[in-house]
Amino acid sequence: MTERARSIPPTLSPATQLCGVVLHPAGHTRSPAMHNAAFRVLGLDAVYLAFDVRPEALGDAIRGARAFGVRQLAVSIPHKIEVMKEVDEVDDTATSIGAVNTVTREGERLIGSNTDWTGAVRALEHQGGAELDGCRACVLGAGGAARSVVFGLRERGAQVTILNRTRSRADELCRSLSAEASGNLDALHEIDYDVLVNTTSVGLGEDVSPVAAAALREDTLVMDAVYDPAETRLLREARSRGARTVAGKWWLVHQAAEQLERWSGQPAPTDVMASAFDVA
């Protein structure tokens, strides 16, 4: 898709479907760019907007979405847990993860689901060529993003070790999702892993890494949830030590791709969405 084609507004009609993302504070989100680019390529009569919704207004926002017949909402920080109370049904995987990042209208009902975990797994498999069944995975961090990726890795049959700055959170997540082991971030050098995923915010906008370069190994696959900068210090150091790397953007692209597939029933143009992500 050319720059010009991407910048042409969608054609709006009385039948145009509305999708969007709810988040707060507004900040910068690349979701509208990714989804609108995909709508145009697929010829979907739909438009995607960003809605800055304060936490106390979430219930009103979801009731409004229901009344307006909004087709799908992506749900971002800080609403992923609270939104579970506002929908008609939360599917089994989102219930297990304890967070909803997608609300899709199906008939008259709003269904909450989670594509954060599939986004992570698809990025590792499609971009990284990972065979997750039986592999040894190590997840850095124990917050919401870690919960999704640990769930996804366990679902695919990986053995998972969780390392976190605050050890007790790693232990708790390990118990709750039946992972194999947990520890502090500096234990990485003692662990044999095939796949390493950073879900901490370390490296966001700064040239720092959550782990020592000496703990990184060749013949492994390393993915970073941090997508800005595109190549974080962790990924750069992993690459220079002979590891394969997957940039954080692919996690976001694949979770968005699955959202689009869920409501449209069409295969998502992930390359188009990735290009739109780059220029947004």
- Interface with ligand ATR includes 169 (CB under 6 A)? yes
Distance separating alpha carbons of residues 97 and 258, to the nearest angstrom = 17
Q: How far is CA 257 from CA 39, 44, 173, 180, 217, in A?
A: 11, 14, 27, 30, 31
Query: DSSP states of 108-142 as a string?
Result: TEEEEE--HHHHHHHIIIIIT----TT-EEEEE--
Amino acid at 253: V
Whether residue 85 lies in the annotated active site: no
- With respect to ligand ATR, which residue has the nearer C-beta, 10 or 143? 143
Residues in region 173-232 near ligand ATR by CB under 6 A = 199-202, 210
Catalytic residue among 35, 71, 80, 147: 80
- Interface with ligand ATR includes 98 (CB under 6 A)? no
Task: Give the nearest distance from C-beta 145 to ligand ATR in angstroms.
Answer: 4
Token pair in block for residue 157:
């049959």
Distance separating alpha carbons of residues 181 and 168, to the nearest angstrom = 12
Task: Give the nearest distance from C-beta 146 to ligand ATR in angstroms.
Answer: 6
Token pair in block for residue 21:
């993302």
Token pair in block for residue 197:
């995923």
- With respect to ligand ATR, which residue has the nearer C-beta, 170 or 243? 170
* Residues 108-147, mask of contacts with ligand ATR (x by CB under 6 A): ---------------------------------xxxxxx-
Which of 17, 104, 115, 164: binder of ligand ATR (CB under 6 A)? 164
Q: What angle do CA 269, 116, 183 make, to 5 degrees?
A: 140
- Interface with ligand ATR includes 166 (CB under 6 A)? yes
Nearest residue to ligand ATR on Cβ basis: 143
- Which residues of this chain interact with ligand ATR, rule CB under 6 A? 141-146, 164-166, 169, 199-202, 210
